[in-house]
Amino acid sequence: MKSLLRGKKRNRTVLSQMLINLALILISLIWVIPVWVLVSASFTDETALTTKGYGLWPSQFSTAAYNYLFHYPQAVLNAYGISITVTFFGTIGTLLVVSMLAYALSRVDFQWRRPISFIVFFTMLFNGGMIATYIFIANTLHLVDSLLALILPIMVNTWFVFLMRSYFSELPGN
């Protein structure tokens, strides 16, 4: 009787291990396939990409992307420099602006706390959208072709303001 129960337990263990392995294989494929499509696209001719789209295998094999990469490395380095600069200054600016606003909104004795909280919350629910943001940056701020056009719009993230306000509210002395 005990050996029969052990055999059923062993079968359940083997079945559960097979199901876990199958699930992990499927999850791995979900993560690996986009990378494979990206590598395939890097070896596909540009005109074939625009006409036929992306696929798991290059439709017209070409190393033009890698030729460009090795002949003009400055373009890639410039792009990385811009990404790093925007990330660095955007993070510092966002932390500075969001923490100052959130600290002010967390103070119970701040008289403008409710109206400003409403304005921040309202903009989180109903933002102007992409076109209104572009018009504001281009026509009002005149920041077209500028790194500030990438940094300034993300400096006041309303969700971050509410997270920081909740944190500051929990600190003693508020």
Where does a domain end: 70, 86, 121? 70
Q: What is the pLDDT of residues 131-150, one digit of tens each?
A: 988 998 999 999 999 999 99
Q: What is the pLDDT of residues 94-107, one digit of tens each?
A: 999 999 999 999 99
Do residues 79 and 130 share a domain?
yes
Instruction: Tell whether the model's pLDDT for residue 165 goes beyond 90.
Output: yes
**What pLDDT shows up at residue 21?**
95
Across the chain, mean pLDDT equals 89
Do residues 155 and 86 share a domain?
yes
Q: What is the pLDDT of residues 26-52, one digit of tens each?
A: 999 899 999 999 999 999 999 888 898
Do residues 163 and 82 share a domain?
yes
Residue 149 to residue 95: CA distance in whole angstroms = 18
Do residues 117 and 34 share a domain?
no
Instruction: Tell whether the model's pLDDT for residue 5 goes beyond 60.
Output: no
Domain of residue 140: give its range.
73-170
**What pLDDT shows up at residue 37?**
93
Q: CB-based contacts of 150: which residues, under 8 Å, 6+ apart?
A: 86, 90
Do residues 77 and 157 share a domain?
yes
Domains identified in the chain, total number: 2
Do residues 54 and 118 share a domain?
no
Band the pLDDT of 13: cuts 50, 70, 90: confident
**Residue-by-residue DSSP string for 84-135:** HHHHHHHHHHHHHHHHHHHHHHH-TT-TTHHHHHHHHHHHHHS---HHHHHH
Band the pLDDT of 161: cuts 50, 70, 90: very high
Do residues 63 and 116 share a domain?
no
Where does a domain end: 55, 70, 85? 70
Do residues 79 and 155 share a domain?
yes
**What pLDDT shows up at residue 133?**
87
Do residues 117 and 141 share a domain?
yes
Band the pLDDT of 130: cuts 50, 70, 90: confident
Do residues 87 and 166 share a domain?
yes
